[in-house]
Chains A and B, each alone.
Chain A
């Protein structure tokens, strides 16, 4: 065997562990795909399929916001970037007749470019200052979308945006769109996971934990923050474009400050420490209001109470439940 086996204690176990973990991950992805294949057929009606679709798109937004959060920055302009992607993709199909499957990609790249330009200016700020500036970016988007009549059609929004079709397959109907959204969601999930273990992920996490030390480790903290912001916002742009081609109608109201806050809430409730906290948060919070619909009038109060409870009992988010249970068990 090579020399590296003898150095640190426990190294051979680690290697065996990575192999098992790889098989486990592959199994999880396969299981998710198999389950997903049956989901549209098993759900009682189209309304539930619609909720499932929205949940998947929320998952994409929350994951992409997590990428930005992983350099320690909280963006309140996430919905704005989703909006830029949505308007770009919708206009490309409506005005230029570009097929949605291509306009989706172009919209993502365009949004990423805008984010890169903006990010290189505003990412000098940290903490509340960054949050405030991104809030203003969100407001600016809303104002532009409302007032640039010729392009955005103002408050009336854009209607009859064509659905996504690939090789003759029409992903317009809800059960069909589910498969497309699921594919996009899984792609985002796997990309985010791969990103966290890459050299970029190491740089991002170093910046989040201790930006001054990261800089003297030779990490170009300014550049990597822009990279994270660009990737995250670019994915949000694709997510926004997905909404445009799914709902087939967008307006300035589709991508407001409240949406940005909702994505942050997903991160916090799901758990910010690991990327799949974003997924858990999206899966928990997107359908929640719908299930509370029976309690008419009390709906929002119960929603708020659940949020407070989660944050009070689980400051680490829902993904900290196993740890919390283990600690409770240990105390006995």
Chain B
């Protein structure tokens, strides 16, 4: 298994606050990794640092062997490291299909001049792109609403659309920030199923932040646990479940009389 994403000693300071302290982990091809921890543990900060939204204060991040520290988000995403947001994030005034087409913006074969003049080649490229994006919509299960405005979709569908947009860029690694947040248990289960399908069908590695333990324990190969910006445990779901540090972080220390 080749290593795709590697973090070495990644640290992020906000003034005096250590949001991330010496984080080390790797994601290899075909893995599903869970990033868990109590609220404020630094999970989303970790995502933002990896995806280039925030620069790390220290440490090395490499993707496919190339360092990505200091690159802007759009560059990192074009290298094949996609992400979704914690809140719903769509282009509300565009159709569902158009949203996915925009997700594929950087890999489109359409050219500026061709699209401006409306050439046959440009139209053919756009048609191919739409067909490919329809297939992605089918994969996430919302192909029947392809012509609706994204802003008018029900919440659960918007979450799925967010995943479809990320998938459209043909990523090697997809980072999902709480994909099941705000979903009911049934929808959450379906989301887990979807993540598994994405992983198996496209050979995509997945890094997810999630509070739904049932979901995380069910689908992840390995889990990394953060608490107060520190990496306190890493291992298989079984190992993490029985790790005393993890139990302490979530439930507090037991006071023994």
Question: What is A's interface to B at a CB cutoff of 8 Å?
Answer: 3-4, 7-8, 10, 194-195, 197-200, 202-203, 205-206, 209-210, 212-222
Contacts and interface: CB of A to CB of B under 8 A. Distances in A.
Contacts of A4: 127-128, 131
Interface of B: 51, 72-75, 77-78, 82-83, 85, 89-94, 101-108, 110-112, 115-118, 127-128, 130-131, 134, 146-147, 165-166, 168-169
Looking at A4, A195, A209, A214, the one whose CB has the most chain B CB atoms below 10 A away is A209
A206 B102 contact: yes
A220 B89 contact: no
Contact of A199 (B73, B78, B111): B111
B128 to A, nearest CB: 7
Contacts of A217: 74, 77, 102-106, 165, 168-169
A75 B101 CA distance: 29
Contacts, number: 92
A318 B106 CA distance: 36
A206 B169 CA distance: 15
A218 B73 CA distance: 7
Given A213-B90, A220-B72, 16 more contacts: A4-B131, A8-B131, A8-B146, A197-B116, A198-B116, A199-B105, A199-B115, A206-B102, A210-B89, A210-B90, A213-B91, A214-B102, A215-B73, A216-B85, A218-B78, A219-B106
Chain B interface mostly helix, strand, loop or mixed? helix
B106 A199 contact: no
Contacts of B130: 8
B40 to A, nearest CB: 22
Contacts of A197: 115-116, 118
B89 to A, nearest CB: 5
22 contacts: A8-B146, A194-B116, A197-B115, A197-B116, A199-B110, A205-B94, A206-B105, A209-B91, A209-B92, A210-B89, A210-B90, A212-B89, A215-B74, A215-B77, A216-B73, A216-B74, A216-B77, A217-B102, A217-B104, A218-B74, A218-B77, A219-B74
A177 B78 CA distance: 49
Contacts of B165: 213, 217
7 A-B pairs with the lowest CB-CB distances in the bound complex, closest first: A218-B106, A198-B116, A198-B115, A209-B91, A218-B78, A215-B73, A194-B116
A140 B187 CA distance: 57
Nearest to A222: B72
B118 A216 contact: no
A117 B105 CA distance: 26
Looking at A195, A198, A203, the one whose CB has the most chain B CB atoms below 10 A away is A198
A273 B134 CA distance: 27
Contact of B94 (A3, A203, A209, A212): A209
B72 A194 contact: no
B225 to A, nearest CB: 26
Contacts of B111: 199
A197 to B, nearest CB: 7
A227 to B, nearest CB: 10
Contacts of B166: 216
Looking at B74, B93, B146, the one whose CB has the most chain A CB atoms below 10 A away is B74
Nearest to B93: A209
A206 B77 contact: no
A216 B82 contact: yes
B131 A200 contact: no
Contacts of A220: 72, 74-75
A284 to B, nearest CB: 24
A213 B108 CA distance: 17
